[in-house]
Structure 1
Amino acid sequence: MMKFFKKYQEYFGLLLLWLLLILLINPVGDFPLNDDWCYGKSVKTLYEEGYLKLYNWGEMTLIAHVYWGYFFTEVFGFSFTVLRWSTLLMGFATIIGMYELFKLANLSRWAIFVGIVLCVMNPIFLSLSFSFMTDVPFMCVTIWAFFFFAKALQTDTWQPIFLAIFFCYWAFLIRQLAWVFPLVFLVTFVIVKPRNRKNLLKAFMPLLALMLFSLVFNYIMETNNLLQERYNSKFNLLIDSILNVNKVIIINAFSYFCRTMAYLGIFLVPIHLLYFKRYTFKGSVISAIVWTILITAFLIWSGKEIPSLDNIWIDFGVGPTTLADDGGSFTKSPEPTMPKWFWQIITTIGVFSSVTLVFHIRNMVLGVFRKRQVNSLVILSFVFFVVYLTPFLMVGVYDRYLLPLFPIAIVFLGANSTKVFKKSYQYATYGFLGILTWFSVCAVHDYLSWNRARWEVIHELTETVPKNQLQGGVEYVTWNFFSETQEKWWEQVTPTYTLVFKPAKHQKIVKKYKYSRWLFGEGVFYLVK
């Protein structure tokens, strides 16, 4: 037994950290969050009525996500608390996947620790781990697919390829975006390996396997009339954008790219600044300054300072805040919010930090063209960035779609690095990690807290008030009134009473409710008439 604990002591340490976060934040509460009402509805239908039903709200494959939640409800019964625990388990599997990936990339123990904490304490990841949204499960299987593809490049054996294919199947059954994973492997394998018959077979095998799998899946789903009406709508939009590219699409793609770089920069500041000094080519300092000024100026000019990607990390907390008032406009947290200059400073820091990624791409490209040996993991990470991100730049990016990029960016920058960490730098990093941890834990706690209080109020009110006369927020309306047959189903709600964070002048306050809030400000919302 002692040998077992010693062998997996790092796993137990990570589990202890995860359980501590769960204890602090508290996942309990039978209520939907964000879009997970729809996925929960599919699980509930499968559990209570015995058949699979994917509701016409999204366009994903979704099957694996629904059955993952169904497995837990079969054991513990249906509730959103149970579904939330199912995601928390996937969250821990994601943490283990990142840990194994960082070890495979030969990061130092200290860099692994910093990388894990940066990714776990990212408010986007932490918040979504306490929901039944698809993002964390998809990130989990993405990391494991990437890990086994990376292992296949390093070991040159078939076993990791087969395991990677398994995780590609799993990922595809959550989102069609899994198509990019075997394509990434194919491109990387062709670049780094000799082009002979055996290697070409290995390179194409995952892509062919997923093509066959998707054809069988589509046939079964269409034959049984199980696909949503919006299935593949994003893919169709992507094709249309490519075929009809115009000035607006190009400007939007550039804006999304700039914001993505700023997000990667701000959440990975310690990693980026650590490796920044290794780029000493002529003009590197001037290039960093020019990049920072131009990208930051563009974002400020266009009003896209971070956090400007919907809809998890918001000002000042996590969300979305979905009550029907100005204080709950999806991208603003309940007051107090931060002043505009604060986000301009954060954006500037994020953009400057992202320079390291640009410089590392430059070094990698020069290394490939000059036929220097470049680590296969570095090339795999870069190809993943390009192939994964390009479709989103064309059709739009949510901040939660960026989640897989954070650990892969750490691998891209740190693979086989021999960088020595100075004590002063380590102390500064601990300070950053402390601030990030404080903000993320408090923000997610507050998000669960006000939702828990909201639904307690809703259950109390609907004992005396008809459901359609209460506006309890987006999740309340969708969970109770969504219809696939009624065109404007939301018009069923004609509210006499509304829950808001900030009452308007014309609204009469009926009652004030309080909730536990750890970030600055008073935790309150109101019932208005």
Structure 2
Amino acid sequence: MAVRFLSQSAWERPWATMLFLAVAWSAIVLAINPTGEFPTNDDFAYALSVKALVRDGRFRLTDWQSTAMVAQGAWAALFCLPAGFSFTALRISTLVLGLLGVVATYLFLDHFGVGRRLSTFAALLVALNLVYLGQANTFMTDVPFHALLTLSSWLVVSGLDRGSTARYWTGLAVALVSIFVRQVGEGIFVGMVLAYPLARPSFRGWLTQALLPAFVAAATMRAYGAAIAAAGQVPSVYFAKHEQLGIALSHLIQLRLGVLKVPMFRIPASTIYLGLFLAPLLILLASRMARGWSASLRMAAGVGSAVLAVVAASAMEAIGAGMPLLGNILADFGMGIRAMPGVWPQAPRTLWVLLLAAGIWGGVALVVLIASNARATWGHRRDPGVALRPWHLVFFAGVCVVLIGPAVMMYGPYFDRYLLPLIPYAIVVATGVARPGEDPWSEASIRARAIATVGLALTGVWSMGAVHDYFEWNRARWVAARYVTGKLGVDSTRLDGGFEVNNLEHFERNLYAKEDVELVPVDPATGLRPGASHVISVSPLNGRRVLASFPCRNWLPYSPSRILLLDDAKTSVPAP
């Protein structure tokens, strides 16, 4: 019996698919319930800029941000107009852009003729990705940037392919907006400078439609940098990544080859993560590639590759190189960051080994598919019926080098969320050459479609549960924090509630300070805020008593079941 994830006849109109994606996204968000007046991760730094704009009518950057998030801040301010500033309003603004990113992913893939069922499946896979879904429920810049970048890519590519000047220039305009979320949005312009001669072999066209827009984008960013410098608003970490990259490149020029250890780890680790993110889709694409093989050979290849992936993952785990390989969002079988004192619940390492095995299998499959399809694209470069052209590959490569190249090379932190913008390009090239009338979904075996559908469902359950639980324990933490500073009357500087609690009030109090504002320090000996009389923790701590306990209603088994308020008192009192 055929697996009917989506009926082809039901999805003949793109508007029907987009409506379906909107309904699915809304249902996911409602189930998670990302409400609450508190920041998550680093977004307190961006939120305070919006708060200054809404409350005081002043544009103000905080010192803990390295992105030019002016566009995102202005967008979020619109959502604060009805009822004033709130973190929930900021999250709604990001969730709207999150839906835009999912729809743009669908439109981008559908443009290359991969079939609406596969495009819809891939769009759902993006929506249910833990990193994407988690960041969409915050005010971080990752998902807004992904949405604008993917939308811009679709408009630029389809504009050139269809000869629509208006669509092409609209795409470049969206790309210009994207650099005011993250500066690496300039990758669209770099990619077009490289690819335009292959798409339109006209020197004049290249000058006016590729090189000139790239110059305008670069000049605009320079003007922005000069403007914030003149206003005395350059964040202290604004150029930190430039400096880290500069140091790495200088070491490379000096033939200090130790610098290569950084990309030698980050490139394979990133490939494993992308393989994990796309594993359900890659099962379909691998099955499609092997459709000419005999049934016994397909079975042997599938089982054999899975066994090898498990063996490789077990070996990596044995030498201490297990998941998570990269930090930040993908935490111990849940969502991060988990910057709060205490010992966090831990999932069995077997689950991490299985995830690592899926990532290894997916990473190898992704590399093989991309290499094979890049070669096939060149071989079919004169076939007018093929949607994926060599200039597309050059464009994608140029964009991706700007997106991830500096982060791969530079010293300093490297996070899993940096990989989100690469996903649409990876999917397109992994899917490869498609001709009119082909349906990659139908070309995969029934077994592969069933496994992929189960994989998508498991991804969704895990991601939704992880994001839901992330907000559960954060809500409990902030209830505890406000209980301490409100009912108990403890000064906020005497409370250690973890990274976000410690720094929100600190940065807001110093929002208009003229000197650089540093993060609240942590005592390296104890891991706690110096002088803290009260601590909010996920577990008891030596030398401190439990003052109150705040329960969490979790969906997943390895999330914190309670948040503890600790102090030096010898007796406990009930939680409020």
Distance across 2 between alignment mates of 1:167 and 1:298: 45
Asked if 1:434 corresponds to 2:457, the answer is yes
Q: Classify 1:296/1:384 alpha carbon distance in 2 versus 1 (closer, same or farther; 3 Å).
A: farther
Q: Once the two structures are superposed, what CA deviation does each residue of 1:431-468 show, in whole Å capped at 9, x if it has no partner?
A: 11111111011110000111111111221221212222
Match of 1:71 among 54, 57, 78: 78
CA drift at 1:354: 1.8
What is the aligned partner in structure 2 of residue 316 from structure 1?
Answer: 333
What is the aligned partner in structure 1 of residue 187 from structure 2?
Answer: 180
Higher deviation after alignment, 180-189 or 127-136 = 180-189
Q: Classify 1:385/1:503 alpha carbon distance in 2 versus 1 (closer, same or farther; 3 Å).
A: same
Asked if 1:503 corresponds to 2:503, the answer is no
Q: Classify 1:11/1:345 alpha carbon distance in 2 versus 1 (closer, same or farther; 3 Å).
A: closer
Percent of paired sites with the same residue: 24
The residue matched to 2:550 in structure 1 has which SS?
strand
Higher deviation after alignment, 450-459 or 411-420 = 411-420
What is the aligned partner in structure 1 of residue 353 from structure 2?
Answer: 344
What is the aligned partner in structure 2 of residue 480 from structure 1?
Answer: 505
Q: Once the two structures are superposed, what CA deviation does each residue of 1:382-408 show, in whole Å capped at 9, x if it has no partner?
A: 443344221111125311111112222
Asked if 1:407 corresponds to 2:407, the answer is no
Q: Classify 1:394/1:250 alpha carbon distance in 2 versus 1 (closer, same or farther; 3 Å).
A: same
Distance across 1 between alignment mates of 2:80 and 2:283: 45
Match of 2:270 among 260, 280, 283: 260
Match of 1:129 among 122, 136, 153: 136
Distance across 2 between alignment mates of 1:432 and 1:234: 36
> Are the aligned partners of 2:377 and 2:433 in contact in 1 as well (CA < 8 Å)?
no
Q: Once the two structures are superposed, what CA deviation does each residue of 1:193-238 show, in whole Å capped at 9, x if it has no partner?
A: 4354334543323312212322332333233223223222212321
> Are the aligned partners of 2:69 and 2:182 in contact in 1 as well (CA < 8 Å)?
yes
> Are the aligned partners of 2:272 and 2:356 in contact in 1 as well (CA < 8 Å)?
yes
Match of 1:392 among 407, 410, 431: 407
Higher deviation after alignment, 356-365 or 79-88 = 356-365
Q: Once the two structures are superposed, what CA deviation does each residue of 1:62-82 show, in whole Å capped at 9, x if it has no partner?
A: 211221222222232111111
What is the aligned partner in structure 2 of residue 270 from structure 1?
Answer: 280
Q: Once the two structures are superposed, what CA deviation does each residue of 1:310-337 show, in whole Å capped at 9, x if it has no partner?
A: 201111100111212232xxxxxxx1x2
> Are the aligned partners of 1:382 and 1:412 in contact in 2 as well (CA < 8 Å)?
no
What is the aligned partner in structure 2 of residue 158 from structure 1?
Answer: 165
Distance across 2 between alignment mates of 1:176 and 1:227: 15
Q: Classify 1:108/1:314 alpha carbon distance in 2 versus 1 (closer, same or farther; 3 Å).
A: same
Asked if 1:250 corresponds to 2:260, the answer is yes
CA drift at 1:300: 4.5
Asked if 1:89 corresponds to 2:126, the answer is no
> Are the aligned partners of 1:106 and 1:415 in contact in 2 as well (CA < 8 Å)?
no
> Are the aligned partners of 1:161 and 1:206 in contact in 2 as well (CA < 8 Å)?
no
> Are the aligned partners of 1:377 and 1:411 in contact in 2 as well (CA < 8 Å)?
no
Gap runs ≥5 in structure 2: 1-12, 293-297, 383-387, 523-528, 568-576
CA drift at 1:365: 5.0
Asked if 1:423 corresponds to 2:446, the answer is yes
CA drift at 1:166: 1.1
Gap runs ≥5 in structure 1: 1-5, 328-334
After superposition, residues 27-38 of structure 1 pair within 5 angstroms as 27-38=34-45
The residue matched to 1:268 in structure 2 has which SS?
helix
Q: Classify 1:371/1:112 alpha carbon distance in 2 versus 1 (closer, same or farther; 3 Å).
A: closer
Higher deviation after alignment, 71-80 or 33-42 = 71-80
The residue matched to 2:234 in structure 1 has which SS?
coil
The residue matched to 1:448 in structure 2 has which SS?
helix
The residue matched to 1:404 in structure 2 has which SS?
helix
Distance across 1 between alignment mates of 2:477 and 2:354: 34
The one-letter code sitting in structure 2 at the alignment partner of 1:430 is T
> Are the aligned partners of 1:469 and 1:497 in contact in 2 as well (CA < 8 Å)?
yes
What is the aligned partner in structure 1 of residue 562 from structure 2?
Answer: 524
Distance across 2 between alignment mates of 1:429 and 1:358: 19
Higher deviation after alignment, 128-137 or 269-278 = 269-278
CA drift at 1:506: 3.4
CA drift at 1:110: 1.8
Match of 1:380 among 385, 390, 395: 395
Q: Once the two structures are superposed, what CA deviation does each residue of 1:108-148 show, in whole Å capped at 9, x if it has no partner?
A: 12211210111000010111111111111111111111112
Q: Classify 1:220/1:59 alpha carbon distance in 2 versus 1 (closer, same or farther; 3 Å).
A: same
- Size of the aligned set, in residue pairs, is 515
What is the aligned partner in structure 2 of residue 332 from structure 1?
Answer: none
Asked if 1:53 corresponds to 2:63, the answer is no
TM-score, scaled relative to structure 1: 0.89
> Are the aligned partners of 1:105 and 1:414 in contact in 2 as well (CA < 8 Å)?
no
Q: Classify 1:489/1:266 alpha carbon distance in 2 versus 1 (closer, same or farther; 3 Å).
A: closer
What is the aligned partner in structure 2 of residue 213 from structure 1?
Answer: 220
Distance across 2 between alignment mates of 1:147 and 1:288: 34
Q: CA RMSD in A?
A: 3.0
What is the aligned partner in structure 1 of residue 570 from structure 2?
Answer: none
Distance across 2 between alignment mates of 1:291 and 1:421: 22
